[in-house]
């Protein structure tokens, strides 16, 4: 009796070696390091291709697109030892491997059986550009009496051919298969094929090759520049900014070049930079929504937003408290934030301050440790002044 199998739709499916079950998915396995990826699909175009001296064609050939116990079969019995069939050609797999990828392997999977055990592989070849290639990967053993999936090739097997993306994405890419009779006797053959699918393995290059990313403070602005050596499927760049190197916000998006193999230069001017030390980083996003974030750079801007608003911080015992000498143009509630560059927002405290000069004491409660800190004066969610200092506790 035939093994029980899942019944699947006929468009796309993948095969897991560990369990021999079929999943209703288009397989796209990504690694974070842009390692080997795979796509698995079934063909859309089916035909017979005559082989000189063959004894039978295949019928019901579109049944090879699904694992559903409805079979491709031979039109006639193969009564004599060595009798063989025409090629069953399956093409138009509709792969969509990304441009710029490197094809690293091709695996063909054929689910087939012969209840009489009289069939075996005759010719197993890849079709490239609409033509059957010469390499024959036929396996020697006779087919099992129950449906079994035979694998040909693998994730590093190129079938003695060179491949580019257009070869496998082409409608002329596919698979050719022929069976033959093994052994004599009066018992008929019963060659049956339930499904054929192909997995293409490839490596996807980095979406962009970044040459440099720099930030420079000049006058009242910060100028950011970056350069790429190549871009693949690149939709846009994001410029992200942070006052602590941990929590970033997007301050600009710049359109990418989509696909490029030449050096491209980009720039952005932050006309309202933060004061003190700010951190900028570059993020790239593909058209499919995937993104990559690059290194962080730091830049320091001195001064204050309003010449009449300022802050000076000092103390003899930072582990107990710090004093902030704050100059304001109007009274109101203000917040002093003490932010560790490597540890985020450590301490914050609100004060009611007056117009003019204020002396505010922030209790540090022994929380601070020796290190570099950014101290910010905030009023109405607006940073009025920022300073950076080293606390030695």
Both structure tokens of 98:
């990304």
Q: Burial, 169: exposed, middle or buried (Cβ in 10 Å; 0-12, 13-18, 19+)? A: middle
In the Cβ-directed half-sphere of 296, how many Cα atoms lie within 13 Å?
14
Least confident of 47-51, 113-117, 156-160, 294-298: 294-298
DSSP per-residue codes, 231-265: EEEEEEEEEEEESSSSS-EEEEEEEEEEEESS-EE
Burial of 89 (0-12, 13-18, 19+ CB in 10 A): buried
Mean pLDDT of 366-378: 79
**pLDDT at position 348:** 87
Residue 12 pLDDT grade (very low, low, confident, very high; cuts 50, 70, 90): very low
Helix (H) and strand (E) counts for the chain?
1, 26
Which of 121-135, 208-222, 337-351 is predicted with the least confidence, judged by mean pLDDT?
337-351
The region that residue 4 occupies, defined by phi over 0 for left and psi between -120 and 50 for alpha, beta otherwise, is beta
**Which residues is 327 bridged to in the sheet?**
310, 357
Query: Which helix (DSSP H) or strand (DSSP E) does residue 202 occupy?
Result: strand 192-203
Is pLDDT larger for residue 221 or for residue 84? 84
Q: How confident is the model at residue 345 (pLDDT cuts 50, 70, 90)?
A: low
pLDDT of residue 148: 93
Cα separations in angstroms, 87 against 129, 140, 218, 268: 16, 18, 71, 60
The arithmetic mean of pLDDT across residues 186-208, rounded, is: 88
Q: How distant is the alpha carbon of residue 379 from its chain centre?
A: 42
Whether the CB-CB separation of 38 and 202 falls below 8 Å is answered with: yes
User: What would you report as the CA-atom Rg of the chain, rounded to the nearest whole angstrom?
Assistant: 34
In angstroms, rounded to a whole number, what is the distance separating the alpha carbons of residues 280 and 7?
52
pLDDT tens track for 374-389: 888 888 888 888 777 7
- Comparison of pLDDT for 276 and 14, the residue scoring more: 276
**Does pLDDT of 303 surpass 80?**
no
Contact (Cβ atoms closer than 8 angstroms) between residue 288 and residue 280? no
Give, as one character, the DSSP assignment of residue 166.
Answer: H
Q: What pLDDT sits at residue 27? A: 35
- Average pLDDT of the chain is 82
State the pTM of this model.
Answer: 0.53
Residue range 184-192: mean pLDDT, rounded: 84
- Could you give the CA distance from residue 70 to residue 192 in angstroms, rounded to a whole number? 9
Burial status of residue 359 (CB atoms within 10 A of its CB: 0-12, 13-18, 19 or more): exposed
The region of weakest confidence among 35-39, 257-261, 302-306 is 302-306
List, for residues 126-174, the tens digit of each pLDDT value: 999 999 999 999 999 999 999 999 999 999 999 999 999 999 999 999 9
214 strand-pairing partners: 225
Q: Which tokens sit at 259?
A: 């696909």
Maximum distance among all Cα pairs of the chain, rounded to whole angstroms: 110
pLDDT value of position 289 = 85
pLDDT in tens, 240-252: 988 777 788 888 9
Contact (CB, 8 A) for 277 and 298? yes
Structure tokens given for 284? 């790239």
18-70 pLDDT tens trace: 332 332 233 333 333 346 789 999 999 999 999 999 999 999 999 999 999 99
pLDDT interval class at 391 (50, 70, 90): low
Bridge partners for 22 per DSSP: 15
Q: Are 205 and 232 in contact (CB under 8 A)?
A: yes
């Amino acid at each position: 009796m035939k093994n029980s199998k899942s019944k699947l739709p006929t468009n796309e499916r993948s095969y897991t070696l560990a369990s021999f079950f079929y999943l209703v998915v288009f397989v796209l396995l990504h690694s974070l390091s842009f390692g080997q990826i795979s796509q698995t699909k079934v063909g859309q175009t089916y035909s017979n291709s005559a082989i000189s001296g063959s004894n039978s064609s295949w019928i019901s050939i579109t049944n090879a697109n699904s694992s559903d116990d409805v079979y491709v079969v031979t039109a006639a019995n193969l009564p004599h030892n060595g009798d063989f069939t025409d090629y069953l050609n399956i093409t138009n797999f509709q792969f969509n491997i990304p441009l710029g990828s490197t094809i690293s392997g091709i695996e063909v999977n054929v689910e087939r059986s012969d209840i009489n055990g009289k069939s075996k592989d005759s010719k197993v070849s890849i079709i490239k550009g609409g033509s059957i290639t010469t390499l024959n990967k036929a396996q020697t053993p006779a087919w099992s009496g129950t449906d079994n999936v035979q694998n040909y090739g693998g994730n590093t097997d190129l079938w003695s051919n060179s491949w580019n993306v257009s070869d496998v994405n082409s409608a002329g890419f596919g698979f050719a298969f022929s069976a033959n009779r093994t052994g004599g006797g009066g018992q008929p053959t019963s060659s049956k094929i339930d499904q054929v699918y192909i997995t293409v393995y490839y490596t996807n290059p980095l979406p962009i090759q970044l040459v440099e990313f720099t930030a420079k403070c000049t006058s009242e602005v910060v100028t950011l520049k970056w350069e790429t050596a190549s871009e693949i499927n690149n939709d846009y760049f994001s410029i992200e900014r942070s006052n602590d190197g941990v929590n970033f916000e997007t301050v600009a998006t710049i359109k990418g070049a989509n696909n490029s193999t030449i050096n491209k230069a980009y720039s952005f001017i932050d006309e309202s930079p933060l004061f003190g030390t700010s951190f900028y980083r570059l993020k790239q996003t593909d058209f499919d929504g995937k993104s990559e974030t690059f290194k962080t750079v730091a830049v320091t801007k001195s001064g204050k937003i309003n010449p009449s608003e300022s802050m000076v911080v000092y103390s003899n015992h930072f582990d107990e408290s710090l004093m902030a000498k704050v100059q304001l143009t109007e009274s109101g509630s203000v917040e002093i934030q003490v932010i560790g560059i490597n540890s985020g927002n450590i301490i914050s405290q609100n004060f009611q301050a007056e117009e003019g000069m204020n002396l505010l004491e922030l209790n540090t409660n022994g929380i601070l440790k020796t290190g570099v800190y950014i101290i910010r004066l905030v009023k109405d969610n607006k940073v009025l002044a920022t300073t950076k200092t080293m606390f030695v506790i």
